[in-house]
Structure 1
């Protein structure tokens, strides 16, 4: 039996929720894993490392509209520090996440999700993680 191909994982980090998406073994497509509380998300990442292996993490970097760092990037930087404590050997790539929430809402609408579901912040965060990861995969 072949060893599983290590996965690339996308992360959309907020203060209350963390959206996680996982790439397929060929690293062509991102799929939503789910939305979790920050501590629970760390446990999910550890589980993914054990079950599938982790090649890299791609985390949304919330720049301002002007392209500058601010309070939101401080929150994500603190979460990256927590990830590095638990998964020190896994590379972490920051990816500009401006407009990913709006793109996620649009994608949910195009997928036929009705209005109340498109307002579900957890669903939007998970979809945003998939968009962040897909952007990274497409950039190759």
Structure 2
């Protein structure tokens, strides 16, 4: 089997998580500058077998699209153009940043490290991917 790769897309940084090859466990991979994201994905896919992308779907509490969805839609067009054969799925990402921060607290990560927004983005991508895996 191939891996599933999840993205917590952001205007500045994007958190990335992947599954193991059996698609059982979601793990944080890294955080990259969003301007370098497509190149990073291209390089990663050359080294690892990826079956699909899962991109976070930011929604408001009333189920309407978040302001950042406009940026994500532009990115999705670029992603589809770059990887036309790769399926892209969406996963609700409400509360993932809060859950990521709480998981850092619960695991005893020091205050200085908790300020690292890149780590929050990576953990958020992992939570998005785990939620996606839990759907099946």
Report the TM-score, using the length of structure 1 for normalisation: 0.91
Whether 1:88 aligns to 2:84 is yes
> What does 1:88-127 align with in structure 2 at a 5 Å threshold?
88-127=84-123
- The DSSP-based 3-state class of the residue aligned with 2:68 is helix
Q: How many residues are matched?
A: 136
Counterpart among 19, 23, 28 of residue 23 in structure 1: 19
Partner secondary structure for residue 71 of structure 1: coil
Task: Work out which of the residue numbers 49, 61, 65 in structure 2 matches 1:65.
Answer: 61
Supply the distance in 2 between the matched residues of 1:40 and 1:33 (Cα, whole angstroms): 15
1:49 partnered with 2:45: yes
CA distance in 2 between counterparts of 1:91 and 1:35 reads: 22
Q: Would you say 1:13 and 2:9 are equivalent positions? A: yes
Runs (5+) with no aligned partner, structure 1: none
User: Equivalent residue of 1:18, what SS?
Assistant: strand
Q: Alignment RMSD, CA only?
A: 1.2
Q: Is this contact kept in 1: 2:28–2:126, CA < 8 A?
A: yes
**Which of 56-65 and 42-51 deviates more?**
42-51
Farther-moved stretch of structure 1 (106-115 vs 8-17): 106-115
